[in-house]
Structure 1
Amino acid sequence: MSFEDYHGIWVFIEVKDGEVVPVSLELLGAGKELADKRGTELAGVLIGENVTQLADSLFEYGADTVYVYDYAIFKDYRTESYMKALLECCQKYKPEVILYGATSTGKDLASAVATDLPTGLTADSTILDIEEDTGLLLASRPAFGGNIMATILCKKYRPQMATVRPKVMKALTPEPGRTGKLVEETASLKEEDIRTKVLEIVRHTTQKVKIDEADIIVAGGKGLGSPNGFQLVHQLAETLGGAVGGSRDVVEAGWIEHHHQVGQTGVTVTPKIYFAIGISGAIQHIVGMQNSGLIIAINNDPEAPIFQSSHYGIVGDAFEIVPLLIEQFKQAFNREAVDHV
């Protein structure tokens, strides 16, 4: 394989309900840094139906080129159709790196493309870098249960590929009016060539707490001692109008359901305020909340790693501190309510 034939950083642009999924914009920001370091272009690959008009926003978020497959056959995501389109584009233009969001669609597509090319794929990356001279992608992610950070390399194959969790990277500030090169590709696929058919799309309607959308999150860990002790987290969250989160330990212990888990094996969150109560601060948890606006940690161990990632730290007994916070917040909210009367 001649690496000299491969150029450019690509981002698979995921579209849902006619809109670009936010993680794709975040990856354009990360991809721009890699592309600038290599002195190469940043490109987006846009696949779907009636998606060409979305290219303008991609240019504003940093893309230099956008490759578009805009056909009815791509209306709904299917592994086979999207994979074949992306493979055709790869074989034609030979990118050096392809980045995907670690969503259900991104993970499925990336693994299928990696198998067919074939090439390597680093899943759930949290840090991306690239060697300026060699173009070797340095994709890092927590490993061994979050106890270490592993940097994974793909030395023998191109393109190099990685999936990146939503909200780990930051999108660039859009530059209104910025333009780029739009390349409208021709799809050679026909509907009869695709073995899977979409008969119906059923929206999941079960109401769950969407902690990845919350402005305030109160998260608890095993330091709270028991399911009864964990109720402090619920009480503070209710007082603040926030969402409840938890560490992997409390989820595995059955104190709270998995969709509340914050961390590498849970949800990545970026609230305005994040309370970490009784959470020691394992790497796999830190990567899921480190980009929060304000992090407040409460732990009785002054050496707990969580304090290294916090803006404010309170060393002490959560069963003494949290009730005091709840009372103070209630008084503050009552005063505010009176002032508005």
Structure 2
Amino acid sequence: MAGVLVIGELNDDALQSITGELLAAGRRIADVTGENVGVALLNGGDAVGQETISLGADNAYLVQDEVLAEMQLDAQVAALEKVCSEVQPSVVLIGRTLAGRDVGPRLAFRLGVGLAQDCLQVEADANSGRVVAVRPVYGGNALAKVTFPDANPQMVVMRAKAYEPLDADDSRAGEVSIINPGLDSSVVKARLVETVSQAAEGVRLEDANIVVGGGRGLGGPEPFDQLEDLARLLGGAVGASRAVCDAGWLDHSYQVGLTGKTITPDLYITVGISGASQHMAGCSASKNIIAINRDADANIFKSASFGVVGDWKNVLPSFIETVRELVNS
């Protein structure tokens, strides 16, 4: 049985980084409560099961069922409900991914428990053993500590990059077992009609250690070519504010913010971004923010480690050229 159950995620049979991050968070809880850490992998194979053991899991549950072939949401929720019924965890950790944001609330409703969404930190209280989670509120302007009543499981949806995965230890021992939830095809209420893949080059925005973001202050889509050049030189990715994406300058897949993607880079360079609270909610965990904005009173400067007050048309070209010289030297 698993005291802490991590809902793992796979992509083309490979373990997603969020799974390792959640296992690291789960170990923090288990080290206080003395419980085991388990991970549920939908349609996972023995190889990824063993990989999760090396990353900190004590038990890997490979959830296998023909109904899960298309990984449809209804089937995933039904399968995970069966897993929780069998494993009886006291804590369930889910990643705040595209899938996790849908699965988490539905699973919590099925289990009749509450859910802490969009959490940045999680730990166990040494006295009560209950989970205490930290999550942003008021558009990211404040942090709240939340805990749970006596009902189990305590369910937490964690932001990506909130924790670094533990170093893989192939000497760790653990148990890999198969769970067949015995799903009936009638649980699937919607059908997948078509999957459209979007071609992407370079580093994914969510995974980038360096992000160059542009805002409405750039005045149009053309300046983003310069941001692309800078991101390419630094080995990073390009992001944008909601205003940019709503204006059609860039696709919404570039959007950073409360209703966009959450990023946690080592360096976030913003150009023409004012720093509205909704945008900052998606980048507040950035280790360093450099802001370029001609408005000295822009909110972005309150969060910036370094700031340049000036017209980006004058600042950005010389900055890019300096970076180019440093990279090529």
Task: Give the structure-1-normalised TM-score.
Answer: 0.79
Question: What are the superposed Cα offsets for residues 266-294 of structure 1, whole Å, 9 maximum, x if unpaired?
Answer: 22334564312344555654554455576
TM-aligned CA distance change 1:255 to 1:71, over 3 Å: closer
Distance verdict in 2 for CA 1:133–1:253, change over 3 Å: farther
Pairwise CA RMSD: 3.3
Alignment deviations for residues 292-340 of structure 1 (CA, whole Å, 9 cap, x no partner) = 5764333457776655755x5133214332232133234556x65xxxx
User: Is the CA contact (8 Å cut-off) linking 1:147 and 1:282 kept in structure 2?
Assistant: no
Deviates more, 1:279-288 or 1:51-60: 279-288
Distance 1:136 1:208, change over 3 A: same
CA distance in 1, matches of 2:180, 2:231: 53
Q: Distance in 2 between matches of 1:177 and 1:316?
A: 53
Answer yes or no: is the 8 Å Cα contact 1:215–1:271 preserved in 2: yes
**Counterpart selection for 1:27 from 22, 31, 35:** 22
Given that residues 12 and 100 in structure 1 are in contact (C-alpha distance below 8 angstroms), is that contact kept between their aligned partners in structure 2?
Answer: yes
The answer to whether the aligner puts 1:314 opposite 2:307 as a matched pair is yes
Q: Which of 122, 135, 140 is the equivalent residue of 1:128? A: 122
8 Å contact 1:301–1:315 — kept in the other structure? no
Structure 1 window deviating more from structure 2 (179-188 vs 292-301): it is 292-301
Distance 1:263 1:37, change over 3 A: farther
What is the aligned partner in structure 2 of residue 159 from structure 1?
Answer: 153
Q: Which residue of the other structure, out of 74, 99, 106, is the alignment partner of 1:105?
A: 99
Q: CA deviation at 1:119?
A: 0.8
Change (3 A) 1:261 1:123: same
Q: Point out where structure 2 has 5 or more consecutive residues left out of the alignment.
A: none
How many pairs were matched up?
Answer: 324
Deviation at 1:169, TM superposition (A): 2.6
Aligned partner of 2:195 in structure 1 is 202
* Contact persistence 2:75–2:188 (CA under 8 A): no
- Give the Cα–Cα distance (whole angstroms) in 1 for the partners of residues 86 and 263 of structure 2: 37
Choose the corresponding residue for 2:37, options 42, 51, 63.
42
List gaps (5 residues or longer) in structure 1: 1-5, 337-341
Aligned to 1:17: 12
Query: Rg larger in 1 or in 2?
Result: 1
Deviation at 1:112, TM superposition (A): 2.1
The one-letter code of the counterpart of 2:13 is G
Correspondent of 1:171 among 161, 165, 169 = 165
CA distance in 2, matches of 1:169, 1:330: 32
Determine helix, strand or coil for the equivalent of 2:253.
Answer: helix
Identity of aligned residues (%): 31
Q: Is the 8 A contact 2:215 2:244 kept in 1?
A: yes
Mean Cα deviation higher: 258-267 or 144-153: 144-153
Between the aligned partners of 1:46 and 1:207, the Cα distance in structure 2 is: 26
199-208 vs 321-330, which deviates more?
199-208
Question: 1:155-180: CA deviations, max 9, x gaps?
Answer: 25321112223233321111122121
Q: In structure 2, what is the equivalent of residue 212 of structure 1?
A: 206
Contact 1:280–1:306 (8 Å) recurs in 2: yes
Amino acid at match of 1:32: R
Find the counterpart in structure 2 of residue 235 from structure 1: 226
- Does structure 2 retain, via aligned residues, the 8 Å contact 1:142–1:283? no
Deviates more, 1:94-103 or 1:65-74: 65-74
Counterpart pick for 1:180 among 156, 174, 178: 174
Q: TM-score normalized by structure 2? A: 0.82
Deviations 1:215-245 (A, max 9, x none): 54211345x3x524x7555414324525322
Which residue is 1:260 aligned to? Answer: 254
